[in-house]
Amino acid sequence: MNGQAWLLLLEGAWTTLWISGTAIAIGVIFGLGIALVRMARIPFVDQLLVLYISLARATPLVTFVLFLFLSAPTFGINMNRNTAAIVAMTLNTAAFNAEIWRAAFLSFSREQKEAALACGMTSRVFFRRIMLPQMISSSLPGLVNEMSFLIKGSPAIAVIGIVDLTRVTNRISAVTYEPLPPILAAALLYMLIISILLKLQAMAEKKANRLAM
């Protein structure tokens, strides 16, 4: 491959990275919010959230992206391709993240909260200083696993015309008639992105463990 092909691959990798990264950042926070609401067990709201989580987890990402992009204008919502991809990926990953956060909530020891409250600590301070750091520490492996799945599933956004890393790879293969070099290059770029994510996970786990002590 020549330098122009590598430049196109890097541009595609950047598109994959910033769209996936935006969806991941919003999805983690959104998932935490959903988990908090579910733990409140508000009857009607909880049923709606369970329905949303079930549908989002059961629907392939490519179907989710395509449905949102094509159906949004029907409801008077005009979104460009990038926005539609981010929203679809966020709603998809938030459903998985919500269950990861909820599992962390359910596994948390009530004795710690009772001891903290007995020492005069308020519920808000207890959540911020004790509960949340431990939840982050226990949830990180699952959250990062879901992030990696989302990045590896990101080629689904090409179905609505976004030129991501995989779409660029296909274009280069169609022009050069040599599919193997661009495919291997794309695989290396995906591996690099995931490796950086895993490195960030290790750093975050160390910090979370220190805060949880």
- How many percent of the chain have pLDDT more than 90? 59
Token pair 């460009």 in the structure block, residue? 80
**pTM of the entire predicted model:** 0.88
Task: Tell me the average pLDDT of the chain.
Answer: 88
- pLDDT the model gives residue 101: 93
pLDDT in tens, 116-174: 777 777 777 777 777 777 788 888 889 999 999 999 999 999 999 999 999 999 999 98
- pLDDT the model gives residue 212: 56
pLDDT in tens, 59-84: 999 998 999 998 888 888 888 999 99
How many degrees, rounded to 5, is the angle at CA 154 between CA 152 and CA 155?
100
- Quote the CA–CA distance of 171 and 134 in Å, as a whole number: 46
Per DSSP, helices labelled H in the chain are 3-40, 43-58, 61-71, 81-106, 110-118, 123-126, 132-153, 165-176, 180-212
**Nearest alpha carbon to residue 15 among 163, 168, 207:** 163
Token output for 30: 């959104």
First and final C-alpha spacing in the chain? 51
- pLDDT the model gives residue 120: 74
**Nearest alpha carbon to residue 59 among 85, 102, 36, 88:** 88
Domains of the chain: 3-212 (1.10.3720.10)
Amino acid letter at 137? S
Give the pLDDT band (50/70/90) at residue 211.
Answer: low
Token output for 136: 């982050």
- pLDDT the model gives residue 206: 77
- Quote the CA–CA distance of 48 and 63 in Å, as a whole number: 21
Token output for 49: 């959230």
